[in-house]
């Protein structure tokens, strides 16, 4: 047992400083906004009293509390942080994507041309496409299936918790969990990975699952589906529960089979929720980075855009190429989000 | 073919008995299939984690030569893996206790900052009348679509070189070292969380009863006062929902930490160390399994104990829009 408490002291000091700074900013802001207007109100009152007593003193001008000023202070930290942390950087990244690796010279569209010319990067783009088609579909499908199956079942909340649990596990943790499932030991040795054990006990030969392309990409996708299905299940389950009971009852009196019920009542009723789920998972999938990095580090043809962006910008020092990949990622996300916004507005109009 | 068979109908079963019975059998079969499928899915979803948990308590030689399922035939239990991975001195042992503290130090402010700032902003956007309110809201909402990958390269150079436009320094270089690097991570996490936080909290805060707010205004309460005494207590569940979201997201984050925490053992969180162990010591399963559980246990506790709020936030954020 060896743990150096003294080494932790500077960190805890830093934490304390952070919290103090935080208290000063937020507390200070609220107190300032509370005290200053109150001070002016009191002074005005005093002036009024003086004016009514003294007779000759002109009545002070009526000062109206300025709503806009309050809004400004309430919004200031957020807007400032967003400007420094997101808006300006995103614009800079777009500019950097037209510059060379060291961000010195303008190179026009070279970085984008490189993206589509380099075989390795085209592979990355194809992988990303496979991820973003498969993960949302399979995860939503699994989530929906499970939500329907356990609806009103005994131990429903326990059953849901089991599927939902991976949401709390980090991508890194999940990747390690599944690497263990895919673990390989030579033929003839006892297997320690569950998947190879199953294959062996069915009479097959153990395989190095994570080395064989394109199978390895699919196996990494399994990890993401494993994590996201719980999210889909919870949202869809809530949507199913909000279907009006009389519709379900009427359908049942008409003697529909469970399958008809599912096709004709359940799915149409929860369509908006399904769209939201698919969109949310698609966006999360496009940005996924940790799973690939922890399992294969992007080797063996498994890399995706988000991972390659990290490699280019932070490992190889190719800011231009990394930025171009980030911009491309943004372009991929954009239509998905516009689609969602249009959907929401349509829903509002109908609802 | 109704689901509820009235007792009177029991006598009539002789006439149409076969069909009713057949349908009932089929129904029971259907629901049995459903149950079986549900159980299979639940097992498939749980077994990988369960296998890792069992493995993390097995002695190293056993763990490396036999599958974790043999544990039930030959139960051998040890805490040595955890001891090694948390407190071990060897360079490859993990020293996770140290990184555990880092994760805590990173997470706490990274949850508090955006929570407070976003609550203020959401209140202003919902209940203070000012010109351009809708545009500010739309602007913040729209920022959700910017992938944080778009911000990484410039933000890192902001920290090291400061911000200056046309020779005017807007923000000086931070020049941090050691534990001060935490500030960068806090800053990055706060910025990246704000759009979603404002969106989620706005959903809740704007739904507070209008009468309540107007009554408070008539009584002469100022905005900070309303915010403190009325809004904050009423939207506490929403704050909890976002707090859990942000906690899980920050605790589980790898990308932001990798770039802004500098990878050293002074500031890097658990996830960074774990990814490192997976890369360099991918076959040291006794460390990986125990290490993974050390990193999972805190979010899992938070998640299981506050699941209710988490789900509520999830639904407000994704279904209502």
- Please list the pLDDT of chain A residue by residue as tens digits (351 residues): 456 677 788 888 888 888 998 889 888 888 888 777 777 777 777 877 777 776 655 555 554 556 777 888 889 889 989 988 899 889 989 999 998 888 788 888 888 999 898 888 999 999 999 999 999 999 999 999 999 888 887 788 888 889 988 988 999 999 999 988 998 887 778 888 888 888 888 888 888 888 887 888 999 999 999 999 999 999 999 888 888 888 888 888 888 888 888 888 888 888 888 988 998 899 889 888 889 988 888 888 889 999 999 888 888 888 899 999 999 999 988 888 788 778 777 766 765
Question: Which of A65, A82, A168 lies closest to B140 in CB terms?
Answer: A82
pLDDT score for B186: 92
- pLDDT tens for each residue of B43-93: 999 999 998 888 888 888 887 778 788 878 878 888 888 888 888 766 666
Of all residues in chain B, the one with the smallest CA distance to A281 is B318
* Residue A118 φ/ψ region, left for φ over 0, alpha for ψ in the -120 to 50 degree band, beta for the rest: beta
Question: Which of A85, A145, A165 lies closest to B155 in CB terms?
Answer: A85
Whole-angstrom distance, CA of residue A293 vs CA of residue A295? 6
DSSP lists the bridge partners of residue A31 as: none
User: Do A190 and B83 lie within an 8 Å CB cutoff?
Assistant: no
Q: How confident is the model at residue B6 (pLDDT cuts 50, 70, 90)?
A: very low
Q: How confident is the model at residue B166 (pLDDT cuts 50, 70, 90)?
A: low
A chain contacts of residue B131, beta-carbon cutoff 8 Å: 68
A chain contacts of residue B295, beta-carbon cutoff 8 Å: 170, 172-173
Q: What is the CA radius of gyration of chain B?
A: 27
DSSP per position, B16-79: HHHHHHHHHHHHHHHHHHHHHHHHHHHHHHHHHHHHHHHHHTS-HHHHHHS-GGGGGTS----S
Quickly count: other Cβ atoms within 10 Å of residue B162's Cβ.
14
User: Do A22 and B228 lie within an 8 Å CB cutoff?
Assistant: no
How big is the CA angle at A324 (ends A323 and A329), to the nearest 5 degrees? 95
B chain contacts of residue A96, beta-carbon cutoff 8 Å: 153-154
User: Do B295 and A75 lie within an 8 Å CB cutoff?
Assistant: no
pTM of this structure = 0.85
User: Do B125 and A2 lie within an 8 Å CB cutoff?
Assistant: no
A chain contacts of residue B282, beta-carbon cutoff 8 Å: 179
pLDDT score for B91: 60
Q: Is B179 on the interface with A (CB under 8 A)?
A: yes
Closest CA to A169 of B200, B279, B301: B301
Closest CA to B146 of A96, A88, A109, A135: A88
User: Do B149 and A306 lie within an 8 Å CB cutoff?
Assistant: yes
pLDDT score for B118: 94
Q: Which of B62, B119, B132, B255 to mutate to test the interface with A (most CBs of A within 10 A)?
A: B255
Evaluate if residue B18 carries a pLDDT over 60: no
Per DSSP, the three-state class of A207 is: coil
User: Do A11 and B102 lie within an 8 Å CB cutoff?
Assistant: yes
pLDDT score for A56: 58
Whole-angstrom distance, CA of residue A132 vs CA of residue A126? 10
Percent helix, strand and coil across chain B, each to the nearest 5: 75, 0, 20
Question: Which of A71, A287, A297 lies closest to B124 in CB terms?
Answer: A71
pLDDT score for B90: 65
Q: Which of A328-342, B27-41, B158-172, B246-260 has the least mean pLDDT?
A: B158-172
Q: Which residues numbered 86-105 in B keep a CB inside 8 Å of some CB on A? A: 86-89, 97-98, 101-102, 105
pLDDT score for B194: 93
Q: Which of B153, B160, B225 to mutate to test the interface with A (most CBs of A within 10 A)?
A: B153
What ipTM, to 2 d.p.?
0.84
Stated as kind and residue range, the H or E segment containing A109 is: none
How big is the CA angle at A85 (ends B236 and A175), to the nearest 5 degrees? 75
pLDDT score for B110: 94
B chain contacts of residue A16, beta-carbon cutoff 8 Å: none
Chains A and B: how many Cβ contacts under 8 Å? 360
Evaluate whether B243 touches B111 at the Cβ level (below 8 Å): yes
User: Do A189 and B65 lie within an 8 Å CB cutoff?
Assistant: yes
Percent of chain B with pLDDT over 90: 18
Evaluate if residue B28 carries a pLDDT over 70: no
- CB-hemisphere CA count at 13 Å for B99? 30
User: Do A170 and B311 lie within an 8 Å CB cutoff?
Assistant: no
Question: Which of A1, A162, A183 lies closest to B42 in CB terms?
Answer: A162
Evaluate if residue B5 carries a pLDDT over 50: no
User: Do B49 and A169 lie within an 8 Å CB cutoff?
Assistant: yes
Ranges A254-258, B195-199, B317-321, most confident: B195-199
Residue identified by tokens 């263990």 is A180
* Residue A57 φ/ψ region, left for φ over 0, alpha for ψ in the -120 to 50 degree band, beta for the rest: beta
Q: Which of B112, B154, B251 to mutate to test the interface with A (most CBs of A within 10 A)?
A: B154
Q: Which of A11, A16, A333 to mutate to test the interface with B (most CBs of B within 10 A)?
A: A11
How many residues make up chain B in this entry? 321
């Amino acid at each position: 047992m060896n743990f150096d408490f003294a080494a932790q002291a500077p960190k805890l000091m830093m934490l304390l400083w952070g919290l103090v700074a935080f208290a000063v900013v937020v507390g200070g802001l609220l107190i300032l906004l509370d005290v200053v207007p109150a001070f002016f109100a009191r002074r005005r009152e005093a002036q009024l009293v003086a004016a009514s007593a003294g007779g000759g003193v002109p009545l002070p001008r009526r000062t109206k509390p300025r709503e806009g000023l309050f809004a400004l202070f309430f919004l200031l930290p957020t807007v400032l942080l967003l400007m420094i942390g997101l808006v300006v950087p995103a614009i800079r990244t777009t500019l950097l994507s037209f510059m060379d690796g060291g961000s010195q010279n303008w190179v026009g569209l070279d970085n984008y041309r490189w993206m589509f010319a380099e075989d390795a990067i085209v592979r990355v783009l194809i992988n990303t496409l496979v991820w973003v088609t498969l993960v949302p579909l399979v995860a939503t499908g699994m989530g929906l299936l499970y939500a329907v199956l356990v609806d009103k079942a005994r131990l429903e909340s326990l059953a849901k918790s089991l599927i939902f649990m991976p949401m709390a596990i980090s991508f890194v943790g999940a990747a390690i969990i599944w690497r263990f499932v895919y673990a390989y030991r030579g033929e003839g040795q006892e297997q320690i990975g569950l998947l190879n054990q199953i294959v062996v006990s069915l009479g097959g030969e153990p395989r190095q699952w994570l080395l064989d392309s394109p199978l390895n990409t699919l196996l990494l996708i399994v990890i993401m589906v494993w994590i996201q299905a719980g999210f889909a299940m919870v949202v869809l389950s809530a949507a199913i529960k909000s279907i009006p009971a009389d519709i379900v009852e009427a359908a049942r009196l008409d003697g529909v089979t469970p399958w008809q019920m599912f096709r004709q009542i359940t799915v149409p009723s929860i369509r908006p929720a399904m769209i939201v789920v698919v969109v949310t998972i698609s966006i999360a999938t496009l940005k996924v980075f940790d799973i690939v990095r922890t399992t294969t580090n992007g080797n063996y043809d498994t890399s995706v855009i988000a991972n390659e962006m990290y490699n280019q910008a932070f490992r190889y020092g190719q800011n231009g190429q990394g930025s171009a990949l980030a911009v491309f990622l943004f372009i991929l996300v954009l239509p998905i989000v516009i689609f969602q916004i249009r959907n929401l507005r349509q829903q509002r109009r109908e609802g | 073919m109704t689901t509820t068979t009235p007792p009177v109908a029991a006598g009539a079963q002789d006439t149409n008995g076969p069909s009713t019975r057949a349908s009932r059998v089929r129904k029971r079969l259907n629901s049995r299939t459903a149950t079986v499928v549900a159980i299979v899915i639940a097992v498939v979803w749980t077994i990988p984690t369960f296998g890792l948990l069992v493995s993390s308590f097995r002695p190293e030689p056993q763990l490396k030569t036999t599958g974790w399922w043999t544990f039930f035939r030959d139960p051998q239990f040890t805490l040595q893996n955890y001891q090694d991975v948390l407190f071990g001195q060897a360079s490859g042992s993990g020293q996770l206790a140290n990184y555990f503290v880092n994760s805590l130090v990173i997470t706490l402010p990274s949850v508090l900052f955006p929570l407070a700032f976003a609550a203020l902003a959401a209140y202003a956007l919902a209940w203070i009348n000012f010109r351009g309110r809708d545009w500010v809201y739309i602007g913040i909402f729209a920022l959700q679509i910017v992938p944080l990958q778009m911000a990484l390269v410039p933000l890192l150079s902001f920290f090291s070189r400061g911000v200056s436009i046309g020779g005017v320094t807007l923000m000086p270089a931070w020049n941090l070292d050691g534990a001060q690097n935490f500030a960068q991570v806090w800053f990055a996490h706060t910025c990246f969380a704000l759009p979603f936080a404002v969106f989620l909290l706005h959903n809740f805060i704007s739904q507070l009863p209008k009468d309540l707010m107007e009554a408070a205004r008539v009584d002469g309460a100022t905005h900070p006062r309303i915010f403190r005494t009325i809004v904050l207590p009423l939207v506490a569940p929403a704050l909890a929902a976002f707090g859990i979201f942000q906690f899980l997201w920050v605790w589980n984050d790898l990308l932001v930490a990798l770039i802004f925490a500098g990878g050293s053992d002074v500031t890097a969180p658990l996830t960074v160390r774990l990814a490192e162990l997976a890369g360099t010591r991918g076959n040291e399963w006794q460390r990986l399994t125990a290490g993974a559980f050390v990193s999972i246990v805190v979010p899992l506790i938070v998640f299981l104990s506050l699941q209710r709020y988490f789900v509520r936030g999830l639904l407000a954020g994704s279904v209502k829009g």
